Chains A and B, each alone.
Chain A
């Protein structure tokens, strides 16, 4: 086995202390001279025509420096489907739609100014139910379209109808999955400033700095070359920052109109109302199996509620298809999806991106099938696992694959055999459930490039600086990149400076999503470091008069192999290369765009260059009188190729599990008639430390052939299987199956009462 110096080491996060002690400067903390405070006036109605907007009183309020409406903007649309403008001029399509905005000397004045803006609306009939929205007489939300159907997609492999006929058993369920908020601790933030030459700088919490640069250019008619995005320390993302939202062009335009920098930050309530959330889905699903334990067919129909506008989140159907079509070997599969406009909140990207929904369906039906053929659910899964280096009928080329090991390890550690001998005590019943997941782990080509660039330079003090397109949102990518460069150049990772937050300096990257950063940014940094190593050795050869083949890099020195006394420090190498006629700097650059492909219209294609696999076993305790479900213990095993930093892998798994438990049991944005009923952290419940159970993370290493040092992505995986494993554990405990999320005490209690009345 290869011996590594820095790969696989548990290097703590260098900013952990600063974060815990409040010393990190987040976007919300930023102040620049002459900065104004921006606020947005939002629609109180879900669907209405705007008849008139009177901003005159707001404009006269002392301290107000700019008031804007749709009229102030160039007539450009933005968004995934180009279906909106930053401020709405003709009509509003959801509660919270942006109608006007102000910039003032302080927040109170800005808020007061909003109250002075008078908007006259003519209410239009709204539509909140996605099935209603598809009816021919439904109110049309985007009048330029023929219907509220945004997209219809079909995916088929094999012959699902024949498969359903052939299968010895078929199970069928209807699922209703609700809204979930990404809920990062830091709410949306933007600070926009024009310099005297008219160039724009935007400080942002975005996860897509380079696409934001492009999107702002497109929405505002400013050349992209005049826009610089600087990412502040970001207080979490979870997918929230994957689209440009309206507030960003609004903030820029306020700054332009006021001629002063403008800061715009969401309140927590605004975050709940206006930040994009996980798609609610209605799902009709059938799965079939043969009595001998072969999984035979899956047939799924999805109705996805986009909300009032379409974001990148609508692509979640692709991820959904992947899990239905390729998690376990399944000869026949079909997914039909409709994504629909409604007058509900906008949905978008949230960790897992369609996978928590599909895994919930697929993995609860795996349990149902196992029961129907009288097989242990673990055994049934193991018989159907994906194997390494096989291509699925979907065109997914699996390389490294540790699904079998993950299932076995999760089951072994939780004590799977305990399922058979259950002890009931009082009103508490315990159960154990398992669920697996498959997730892109080598990028995901949903944009024409899935690439990332890196630049590594060594200065004449020997300092190594890495400029990477990768975005750090708390997951630890800066240290991962440093560990990879450190391994190549033979220096301690903490000696490496990472610059990763400024589009004026860093090379392009598509964004932090799809669990792709270790794999792709890591590999591009690896290439850049290798180039630097070549340059160092080239000059060291001359200095040491030894062939490069006999030199190695160690602790900041070029050392002659076998003669540790014969060495030259990096800084000397660099100076020798700089300070001479025809001198050169030591700079290496790397670009990595993985060998994956866009999924075709038929839903097929190898979307990722590698796939991560995982399995979670969860033990729960159900109170049969109150319906309350308490997760007791989670074992989460994940095939991550190779863990560059096991501590961060565990961090991602633990965080993922907690988020998955939230989806399973607690978190629900309650939307009634387009209005969010619980826009507070009190009533939108994340798990607290007291609610989180013991989580045991298991890392399964399979050494991926394509990933940097064999690594694959892990960021989202922990969230995907949790709800299914919890639902399976509840069934094991009390024999009741809940097919809607979150599984509230009330749903459990109702189901128990129905079960009892059915027995009588």
Chain B
């Protein structure tokens, strides 16, 4: 590991001011579960590391007045997994947070780290995008919000500009008519990265089985997590029949742009998008 400058500011403003001083080579750190191994393996060599953990409030999970939930960027995966506020409103988010990596890693790793690292396979992204979450960004120009779907711009790339930090994600109020699920397909039961991840969120018409709205989000099959909009359209406005679900699976597979890598081939990933999309949609239909 090479020497680097280290800061531990106590306010968001101070952190942003430090971050903004550098055009490149500056990295915020929270849990450090991505950053430190990358530094150790020489994959990145930061000039400056800014520790965010002394900034108060960033790890809080707070219900907002409009019924939405603000999940601080520094909330750990363990916090998210065990928080009743998350569990009651967005079970699929809590469930996957409790299954990622391993217990020691979950105790350190943060929501912000998982999202800002911007791996196409990041497990929190598909369910949060499916829930229409927004990213709260703080920077030299103050606060701005972008839909989480638009937050990712490529592998390891986000919309964060110079000096900007992700401070929270805000998830809209839970819809009593909606059901969601996220399926992670990986080689191992733990300590693994998704070969494919699919989140499905469906709002049913009151008392019926007609799908009023659907969000289908695919992870690990494109440079960023993506919505499968044709698949969503194919099931909107009608009951979720087996045929429609199969069609949605086929369209989702078409929307995927997977690559071959050490975890699986593009062919296999595309096949799995169809299977997991079907399974996710069946699952929300059954739990309806």
Asked if A542 is an interface residue, CB under 8 A from chain B, the answer is no
| Nearest-Cβ distance from residue B219 to partner chain A, whole angstroms | 16
Residues B1-45 near A (CB distance < 8 A): 1-2, 41-42
A625 at the interface (CB under 8 A from B): yes
Q: Which of B108-116, B144-152, B258-266 contacts its partner?
A: B258-266
A180 to chain B, nearest CB (A): 15
Contacts of B262 in A (CB 8 A): 670, 677-678, 683
Q: Which of B2, B190, B265, B275 interacts with A688 by CB under 8 Å?
A: B190
Give the distance in Å from the alpha carbon of A749 to the alpha carbon of B2 in the complex: 46
B191 at the interface (CB under 8 A from A): yes
The interface residues of chain A, by DSSP majority, are classed as loop
Instruction: Name the A residues within 8 Å of B267 (CB-CB).
Output: 746
Q: Which of A653-676 contact B (CB under 8 A)?
A: 666, 670
Kindly report which residue of chain A lies nearest to residue B3, judged by CB atoms: A108
A685 close to B188 (CB less than 8 A)? yes
Q: Assess the B268–A745 pair: CB atoms within 8 A.
A: yes
Chain A nearest CB from B284 CB (Å) reads 17
**A682 at interface (Cβ–Cβ under 8 A)?**
yes
| CB contact between A687 and one of B41, B188, B268 (< 8 Å): that residue | B188
Given contacts A269-B41, A625-B275, A682-B193, contact A746 B2 (CB under 8 A): no
Please tell me if the beta carbons of B188 and A690 are within 8 angstroms of each other in the complex: yes
- Given A108-B1, A108-B2, A749-B271: A666 in contact with B188 (beta carbons within 8 A): yes
Q: Mark A105-147, 1 if CB is under 8 A from B, else 0.
A: 0001001100000000000000000000000000000000000
B interface bracket (residues with beta carbon within 8 Å of A)? 20 to 34
Which 10 pairs, one residue from A and one from B, show the smallest C-beta to C-beta distance? Answer: A690-B189, A746-B268, A678-B262, A625-B275, A683-B262, A688-B190, A690-B190, A691-B189, A677-B262, A691-B188
Residues of A within 8 A of B87 (CB): none
Whole-angstrom CA separation of A112 from B41 in the bound complex:
13
Instruction: Report A-chain residues with C-beta under 8 Å of the C-beta of B41.
Output: 267, 269
| Beyond A666-B188, A678-B262, A681-B191, 20 extra complex contacts between A and B, CB < 8 Å | A111-B42, A112-B2, A269-B41, A625-B275, A626-B272, A627-B268, A670-B262, A682-B191, A682-B192, A683-B193, A685-B188, A685-B192, A687-B188, A688-B188, A688-B189, A688-B191, A691-B188, A691-B189, A744-B187, A745-B264
16 intermolecular pairs with C-beta atoms under 8 Å apart: A625-B275, A666-B187, A670-B262, A683-B193, A683-B262, A683-B263, A688-B190, A690-B188, A690-B189, A691-B188, A691-B189, A691-B190, A745-B187, A746-B264, A746-B268, A749-B268
Question: Could you say which residues of chain B place their CB within 8 Å of the CB of A678?
Answer: 262
For A726-753 the 0/1 string (1 means CB < 8 A from B) is 0000000000000000001110010000
Query: Looking across the interface, which residue of chain A has its beta carbon closest to that of B193?
Result: A682
CA distance A745 to B1 in the complex (A): 38
Chain B residue nearest to A666 (CB atoms) is B187
**Residue B185 interfacial (CB < 8 Å):** yes
CB distance from B273 to the nearest CB of A (A): 11
Give the interface centre of A670, A690, A746 by most chain B CB atoms within 10 Å: A746
Q: Say whether A626 contacts B189, CB under 8 Å.
A: no
User: In the bound complex, what is the Cα–Cα distance between A112 and B272 (angstroms)?
Assistant: 44
Chain B residues with CB under 8 A of A625: 275
Give chain B nearest CB distance to A325 CB in angstroms.
36
Residues in B with CB closer than 8 Å to A682 are: 191-193
Tell me the B residues contacting A by CB distance below 8 Å: 1-2, 41-42, 185, 187-193, 262-265, 267-268, 271-272, 275
Distance in angstroms from B217 CB to nearest chain A CB is 19
Q: How far is the CA of A641 from the CA of B268 in the complex (A)?
A: 47
* Assembled-state Cα–Cα distance A685/B188 (Å): 8
For the complex, give the distance between the alpha carbons of A108 and B264 in Å.
35
- Minimum C-beta distance from A383 to chain B (A): 38
Q: How far is the CB of A745 from chain B (nearest CB, A)?
A: 7
Residues of B within 8 A of A111 (CB): 42
Q: In the assembly, what is the distance between CA of A666 and CA of B2, in Å?
A: 35
* Whole-angstrom CA separation of A625 from B190 in the bound complex: 21
Determine the chain A residues whose CB is within 8 A of the CB of B191 once the complex forms: 681-682, 688
Contact partners of B192 in chain A: CB under 8 A: 682, 685
Contacts of B185 in A (CB 8 A): 626
C-alpha spacing A267/B41, complex, angstroms: 9
In the assembled complex, how far is the CB of residue B106 from the closest CB belonging to chain A, in whole angstroms? 14
Closest to B187 in A: A685
Which residues from B are CB-within-8-Å of A749? 268, 271
**Contact in complex: B193, A746 (CB < 8 Å):** no
Give bound CA distance, A626 to B275, whole Å.
Answer: 7
* B193 cross-chain contacts in A, Cβ below 8 A: 682-683
B1 and A746: CB pair below 8 A?
no
Q: How far is the CA of A282 from the CA of B251 in the complex (A)?
A: 40
Instruction: List residues of chain B with CB within 8 A of the CB of A627.
Output: 268
Give A623's nearest chain B residue, CB to CB. B275
How far apart sit A688 and B2, CA to CA, in the bound complex (Å)? 33
Q: Which of A625, A677, A678, A687 has the most CB of B within 10 A?
A: A625
Find the B residue at minimum CB distance from A115.
B42
Interface-central residue, B1, B42, B192, by most chain A CB under 10 Å? B192
Residue of B whose beta carbon sits closest to that of A679:
B41
Shortest distance between the CB of B25 and any CB in chain A (Å): 18
> Across the interface, which residues of B come within 8 angstroms of A744, CB to CB?
187
A690 surroundings in chain B (CB, below 8 A):
188-190
Among B42, B262, B272, which residue has the most Cβ atoms of chain A within 10 A?
A: B262
Q: In the complex, what's the smallest C-beta–C-beta distance from B178 to chain A, in angstroms? A: 25
Please give me the residue from chain B that is nearest to A742 by CB atom: B187
CB distance from A65 to the nearest CB of B (A): 20
Minimum CB–CB distance for B171 against chain A, Å: 29
CA distance A744 to B271 in the complex (A): 14
Q: Given the complex, which residues of B lie within 8 Å of A746, measured CB to CB? A: 264-265, 267-268
In the bound assembly, the distance between CA atoms of A443 and B252 in angstroms comes to: 58
Min CB–CB distance B102 → chain A (angstroms): 8
Q: How far is the CB of B81 from chain A (nearest CB, A)?
A: 16
**Shortest Cβ distance from residue A39 to the other chain B in the assembled complex, whole angstroms:** 12
- What residues of B have a CB within 8 angstroms of the CB of A687 in the complex? 188
A677 to B260, CA, bound (A): 12
Q: Which residues on the B side are within 8 Å of A745 (C-beta)?
A: 187, 264, 268
